[in-house]
Amino acid sequence: MMTFHFRLKKISKPKHTKLKFDLEKLKDPNVLETFQAMIGGRFAPLTIMSNEGTDTDSMITTFNTAVTKTASEILGKHRQKKKPWITAEILDLCDKRRELRKKRFEPEGSETYKEVNNNIKRCMKKAKENWIGEQCRQIEENTKKNNSKRAYQLVKD
């Protein structure tokens, strides 16, 4: 007789394998036009390749690289908002603060870091108050319209 201890090893999964692009920028007509023009220019070699009779695997890889390069140049990465009231300006300030964090132990760098950090906090409070005010206004409108399901959903959110 014996006792047997068996320990399984944890398998680490790769993080963030899928690229996410900021598709909200495509709502702007100027960005949409430039994106379409650049994609059209990159797809010209694909039409030539299709007439020559090349294999589909190479066409798929060139298509994928053309789309990802164009999207990364024009659209950029999607920035995830953890809170619904965070705006694009606040995210830009956070990026600036992230850059200044490296220099915060220097005399002039610490002042600019503190200034940007306080500015972010102020903007966050103001944006949250505006968001809550907007939510309250929508709840009042829904209760006046006798749409209690939507009103309670907004309260829950």
- Whose CA is closest to 73, among 45, 24, 38? 38
Question: What b/e readout covers 35-67, taking b as 16+ CB neighbours within 10 angstroms?
Answer: beebeeebeeeeeeeeeeeeeeeeeeebeeebe
> According to the model, what pLDDT value does residue 16 have?
64
Question: Given a cut of 90, is residue 128 above it in pLDDT?
Answer: yes
Question: Given a cut of 90, is residue 119 above it in pLDDT?
Answer: yes
**Residue 82 forms part of a structural domain:** no
57 in the same domain as 32: yes
92 in the same domain as 152: yes
**Residue 45 forms part of a structural domain:** yes
Beta bridge partners of 77: 21
Residue-wise pLDDT tens digits, 38-47? 888 877 766 6
Mean pLDDT of the chain: 84
Are the CB atoms for 59 and 50 separated by under 8 Å? yes
Residue-wise pLDDT tens digits, 99-113? 888 887 887 888 888
- Structural domain containing residue 39: 23-74
Prediction pTM value: 0.57
Question: Given a cut of 80, is residue 51 above it in pLDDT?
Answer: no
